[in-house]
Structure 1
Amino acid sequence: MPRTQVDWDSWKAVLFDLDGVVTPTAVVHMHAWDAMFNAFLTSRSAADGVAYPPYTEQDYFAYVDGKPRYDGVRSVLESRGITLPEGSPDDPPTAQTVCGLGNSKNDAFEEVLRAEGVVPYPGSVELILALHRRGIPMAVVSSSRNAPAVLAAADLSSYFALVVHGGVAEERGLPGKPAPDTFAYAARELGATNAEAVVLEDAVSGVAAGRAGAFGLVIGVDRGAGPEALTSAGADLVVDDLADVVPADPDGSAPAQEGTR
C-alpha cells in the first residue's frame, strides 16, 4: 500500500495501542496459556485418574481469545468438565482456583516473554522513530498489565512518555475500551485535548473508543479485523501497516532506517 500523508506536526499527542499495533504480543499470550493449562491438565489428570484432553491452539480461539483472563480460565475448565473455586485476584499462582490459574498464566506470560522476547512490527518502529525525531509526545494505552514488560522486551520503553495499562486504569477507576477514558487520560497527561490527539488501534473496540472520545484522528491498523469493520467502528483512516503513514524527516528526506535503542 502506498504511503498516506498525515500531517503529524499538527497533532500534540499520539496514542498507540500495544498488541497488534506495536507488537504481535498475541503469540506470547498464546504460548503462556498453553504452558499454564497443559501443566495444570497433566497434574489434574494424574490426581483425578481422568485423561483430560491437552490444551491446544484451537482452545485459545474457542475459549480464551478476547476475554478477560479469568473468564478465559473458566471457559477452558468448563470445556473439560472441571470445576474450581473462584478464589480472589490476590490468590497466589499455586492456588487451585480460577483466579490462581489466571495469575499462574500471567507468570507464564512473563517467563515466555523473557525466554522468547517479542519483535515489534518494523513499520510501527519506523513510525515511532519518526515521531520521536519530530518531538511529538507518545503514549501507549493498553488493557494489558504486562504492557511495560512488553515494551521493555521490544526495546521501545524510552520512546513513550506514558504507559496507561490495565493496572493504571484500575487504580484510577477508568473503564476500559470501548469506553474512551483511558485514551482521554493519556491525552491529558501529555498536555493535549482529545481533539488534539491521534489514536492508533487495530481492534474494533479500540477504534470505537477513539471515536467515542471524539479524538482528532483515529487510524485503524488492519491486522485481521478488516477495513470495513474498522471504518464502521469509526476509523478515519485504515492502513495495513503503520509504515504507510510514516512521514518524511523534518528536513524533507526519506525516513532514516535506524534500530531501536
Structure 2
Amino acid sequence: MTHPRDDRASLRISAPVDPSEVELGGIRGWLFDLDGVLTPTAVVHMHAWARLFAPFLEAHGAEPYRDADYYAYIDGKPRYDGVRSLLASRGITLPEGEVTDAATLDTVHGLGNRKNDAFNQTLAEEGVRPYPASVALLDAIERAGGEVAVVSSSKNAPAVLEAAGIADRFEVVVDGAVAAREGVPGKPAPDMFLRAAELLGLPPEECAVIEDAESGVKAGASGPFALVVGVDRGVGRDALIELGADVIVDELDELIPALERAGEASAVRNDGDPTTPARTTTEEDRA
C-alpha cells in the first residue's frame, strides 16, 4: 500500500483515500487543530464573529454578514487576520490600532478584541466538551506510543483545552499567542505545524496534520508532512481534497482501524512477534 502523499496525482475528488485503508506506518507525531477538530468550539467562534460583524456591516451600509463569510475569510486564521480579511471583502478600511485597543473601538484590533470578549463570555457560560470520536483517536495514539500536539491560530487554545478537560494530554501547544511571541507566521503558512513538530522532537515527514479549516489544510499541504487529514465540519469533502487533504473523515475515530493495523505491522517488523508491543521512541533515542 502506498502512502497517499507519495502519489498526489492519484488523489481525485471522485476517489478520496478510504480512512480505514490509509497507510499510517511511520507516522509518529499527530498535529491537531483545536476548534472543530478536538472540540466543537468552531461553532462558538462562528457565532461570536456573527455577533461582531452583523451589526458592524449593517451600520456601515455594507453587504450583510453570512455564515459562508466565516469559512471564506475567517476560519482558521489568526484573529486580527480574520478581521482584515472580512473587512477587505467588503472594501472597508479601518485603522490598525493597537493590541491593547478597547473592544469598543472601530479599529482592526478593537474589532478583534470585541470578538474575543464575545467568545470568552460564551465559553464561560456554556462550557465545552471534546468530540468523543476525537478523544477515542487520542486514546488510540497513546496506546500506539505516538506523540500529539495542538496547533491553533486561536490565542484561547489553553483556556479551551482546560474547559474541555484535555489540557493534560498535550505537552506541546502552538497557538496564536506562541506564534505572536516567537514571530511564527500563521496559517495558511505551514510554520506553526513545523514548529510543533520541532517541539515534539520529530521531523515533519513523520507527522500527520489534522485540520477542518481551509487555511489549516492549505498549511498542511504546503509543508513536508506525511499526511493531511481533513475533518469535514462544513467546508465540504470536495473542497478539502482540492485544498490538499489526503484523506477526509467525518469523525476522527474512522482512523483507528488503520492506526491499529500500522501498530500490528510495526510489531511484526520489530520483533517478528505480533503479540509484542511496538517499540516507542524514548528521550534517549532523540538525544
Q: TM-score, normalized by length of structure 2? A: 0.69
Q: What is the CA–CA distance in structure 1 between the aligned matches of 2:144 and 2:43, rounded to whole Å?
A: 32
In 2, the alpha carbon distance for the partners of 1:143 and 1:221 equals: 17
Q: Classify the secondary structure of the residue corresponding to 2:65.
A: helix
Q: What's 1:26 paired with?
A: 42
1:150 maps onto 2:177 in alignment? no
Mapped to 1, the partners of 2:222 and 2:85 lie a distance apart of: 27
Structure 1 residues not aligned, in runs of 5+? 42-50, 253-261
Mapping 1:119-158, distance limit 5 Å: 119-158=129-168
Amino acid of the structure 1 residue aligned with 2:65: D
1:16 maps to what in 2? 32
Q: Distance in 2 between matches of 1:9 and 1:20?
A: 26
Partner Cα distance (1:196, 1:215) in 2? 7
- Assess, with a 3 A threshold, how the Cα gap between structure 1 residues 89 and 69 changes in structure 2: closer, same or farther: farther
CA deviation after TM superposition for structure 1 residue 72, in Å: 6.9
Shift in Å at residue 11 of structure 1?
2.0
CA change 1:218–1:64 in 2 (3 A) is closer
What is the SS of the residue equivalent to 1:10?
coil
1:63–1:76 Cα contact (<8 Å) kept: no
Q: Tell whether 2:213 aligns with 1:197.
A: no
- Residue equivalent to 1:70: 83
User: Pick from 234, 248, 251: which aligns with 1:241?
Assistant: 251
Structure 2: 5+ residue runs without aligned partners? 1-17, 75-80, 265-273, 275-287
Structure 2 CA distance for partners of 1:173 and 1:227, relative to 1, 3 Å: same
Q: How many residues align?
A: 238
Determine the C-alpha separation between the residues in 1 that align with 2:144 and 2:68. Answer: 43
Instruction: Give the Cα separation in 2 of the matches to 1:242 and 1:91.
Output: 39
- Measured after TM superposition, the shift of residue 103 of structure 1 is 1.0
Aligned to 1:187: 197
Matches of 2:23 and 2:69, distance apart in 1: 42
Residue 220 of structure 2: SS of its match in structure 1?
A: helix
Secondary structure of the residue aligned to 1:149 is: helix
Aligned to 1:90: 100
| 1:61 partnered with 2:77 | no
**What is the correspondence of 1:191-230 to structure 2 with a 5 Å cutoff?**
191-230=201-240
1:30 partner amino acid: M
Shift of 1:5: 4.5
CA distance in 2, matches of 1:84, 1:179: 25
How far off is 1:84 after superposition?
Answer: 7.0
Residue equivalent to 2:283: none
Structure 2 residue 122 is matched with structure 1 residue 116: no
Partners of 1:182 and 1:246 in 2: CA distance: 25
Corresponding residue for residue 107 of structure 1: 117
The code of the aligned residue for 1:180 comes to P
Compute the TM-score of the two structures, normalised by the length of structure 1. Answer: 0.76
Letter in 2 for 1:167: A
Q: CA deviation at 1:194?
A: 0.9
Given that residues 137 and 161 in structure 1 are in contact (C-alpha distance below 8 angstroms), is that contact kept between their aligned partners in structure 2? no
Question: Which deviates further from its counterpart, 147-156 or 202-211?
Answer: 202-211
2:117 partner SS: helix
Partner-residue secondary structure (3-state), 1:184: helix
Identity %: 49
Q: Answer yes or no: is the 8 Å Cα contact 1:219–1:238 preserved in 2.
A: yes
